[in-house]
Amino acid sequence: MKVADLSARPAVTISPDATVAQAATLMSRAGVGCLVVVEHDQLVGIVTDRDLVVRVLGTGVAPDVRIDSVMSTNVVAIDRHADIRNAISSFHHHAVRRMPVVDGDQVVGLVSLDDLIVALSKVFADVTHGMTAQLVFPHGNDEPPVPALSS
Amino acid sequence: MRARPGSQLIITGHRVGEPDRTGEVLEARGPGDTAPFLVRWDDTGHVGLLFPGSDCVIKELHHSEVTS
């Protein structure tokens, strides 16, 4: 399964000179908890609803400060053609919950740990469906042995 | 920020006691050797894409430093 097969959503972007208040409004309107900060078509950061809580509300920062002062930089991303095992490895090694999905150098979406869990749970459901049938009907397909004919 | 394959990438620690994070740039996927960079991290061996921040330093093979 490829990253592109996950139910990744389009990334909602914001300019680095936008304010924290504008970011919060955009998150609310778009129904997302994460914004990709883009300047001149280049990804420069990422900001989550948790960042707004911890780095803004939690520290008493005014809501009119620029979003690039509270965003996370050094953003880990994943190629849309990568296998989801690479995504799992990146989530594990970098301890992040969301990653921009890129095609070349362009951000084409956002994938979250939740998206991954949902996709994997469907795979597990398919596996357990067969196992459940075997547990409920353990000998359903067994044919009795044919007795040998003695002359 | 630009980097070529073989360059060393360094992200400095921001807290006391936090070590720098280093890796080797395997590939630059943006136009003109720009980000994102495919990086093999020295501490874990994990290979992944990174859009570096302004605190990231690239050391070329000939040891001159380039920052964004």
Question: Cα B65 to the chain's mean position, in Å?
Answer: 11
pTM of the model: 0.81
- Cβ-contact A114, B68 below 8 angstroms: no
Tell me the per-residue pLDDT of A53-79, one tens digit each, with 9 for 90 and over. 999 999 999 999 999 999 999 999 999
Give the closest-approach CA distance of A27 to chain B in angstroms: 22
Report pLDDT for A141. Answer: 63
Report pLDDT for A138. Answer: 73
The answer to whether the Cβ–Cβ distance between B48 and A76 falls below 8 Å is yes
Residue B67 in this model has a pLDDT that exceeds 70: no
Q: How far apart are CA B47 and CA A89, in angstroms?
A: 9
Q: How far apart are CA A122 and CA B25, in angstroms?
A: 36
- The residue of chain B nearest to residue A86, with distances taken between CA atoms, is B48
Give the closest-approach CA distance of B62 to chain A in angstroms: 24
The answer to whether the Cβ–Cβ distance between A89 and B48 falls below 8 Å is yes
- Two tokens at A97? 């919950």
- Chain B contact present for A106, CB below 8 A: no
Give the closest-approach CA distance of B57 to chain A in angstroms: 11
B56 backbone dihedrals φ, ψ, rounded to 5°:
-95, 140
ipTM: 0.83
Please list the pLDDT of chain A residue by residue as tens digits (151 residues): 899 988 667 899 999 999 999 999 999 999 999 999 999 989 999 999 999 999 999 999 999 999 999 999 999 999 999 999 999 999 999 989 999 999 999 999 999 999 999 888 888 888 888 778 778 877 666 676 777 776 6
- The residue of chain A nearest to residue B9, with distances taken between CA atoms, is A74
Report pLDDT for B1. Answer: 87
What DSSP assignment string belongs to chain B? -B--TT-EEEE---STTPPPEEEEEEEE-STTSBS-EEEEETTT--EEEEE--TTEEEE-TTS-EEE-
CB contacts, 8 Å: B51 with chain A: 42-44, 74-75, 77, 100
